[in-house]
Structure 1
Amino acid sequence: MAAIFARNSLNALRARHLAVSGQVLQGSQRYGLRLSSRSYGTQKDDEEREQLAKEISKDWSSVFERSINTLFLTEMVRGLMLTLKYFFERKVTINYPFEKGPLSPRFRGEHALRRYPTGEERCIACKLCEAVCPAQAITIEAEEREDGSRRTTRLILSFCFSPIIVVFFVSHEFNFEGMTLT
């Protein structure tokens, strides 16, 4: 309903403008207008037309602001200033394989089995740590060696494990290539 009133009032404004300029006949044919001296509108129609005129003036102010921004390229200048700000600041990237970043004090590294100076693993696959673990997060797979003793073939440490194991058998290595964020 408001769109119809807006279209009618816009057509009436065009017709008045054309009548003033002396092009009544051509303009009325071009826009399909009927010109009459009588007004059939009510007070409600007049209020809606005034409201529409206010909205049109608001639209023109926003159009004016956008055209000023486009004319003076204010968005482009703001973006360029932000780029220049970060261009002259200290670099935050590091050359990873050759430079190491700072470590958190809570970082403990990747778990690995400790070895004797001869290169032999300290774990003999007794599975005591698997039995003692309250969270049942340790799984050990073992096989026999040629001399009859057992050796660990696979040690699986899940989310939680006993700190006693860390002291005797498992150490923390700083192997960053195996680390992921997942």
Structure 2
Amino acid sequence: MEDLLTEIRNCEVCKEHLALGPRPIVAANPESRIAIVGQAPGTKVHKTGVPWDDPSGKQLRNWLGVTDGIFYDERKIALIPMGFCYPGKGKSGDLPPRPECAPLWHSPIFEGMPNLQLVILIGQYAQRYYLGEKMEKNLTETVRAYKNYLPHYFVLPHPSPRNRFWLSKNPWFVEEVITELQWRIKDALR
């Protein structure tokens, strides 16, 4: 696994498309019990090199019910984005994750983690890639149908502060989904 992670961290496959240059961000270990598949690093994470080191990450750790120590222990939780580098700025936020990363790197990473109990798919990019036609008509309905993807996958919206409106419109998410998520996290980490 270390050789693979070194290869990923040195990847420059889409270098010419990255405004800030390549800086692949990933954390995984053969002992990982949970994998979190997110979107792509933002500018703050690009600068620090620490996955989910931003307000979205703080919200995600809150949803998961885990401390920073557990979250950043790659023997427990692997952090695997759909796009490993910051993709750049678009009209209404960051650009989508680069399409080269997941097909190139996800299978070898997952093959190297035989102890996985749960894969958390955050946002539409991860859900579309892993669930395909099993997704519902939109993100809200996919998250509402989260039980359909268990026990292997758990689906979540992006924990961005920009999603406050979505959270306020969907109180069932915190009441039902987060409760189930935290139970699944504790079970997987036992």
Same fold (TM over 0.5): no
Q: TM-score range by the shorter chain?
A: under 0.3
Task: Report which structure shows greater RCO (CA 8 Å, sep ≥6).
Answer: 2
TM-score normalised to structure 2 length: 0.17
TM-score normalised to structure 1 length: 0.18
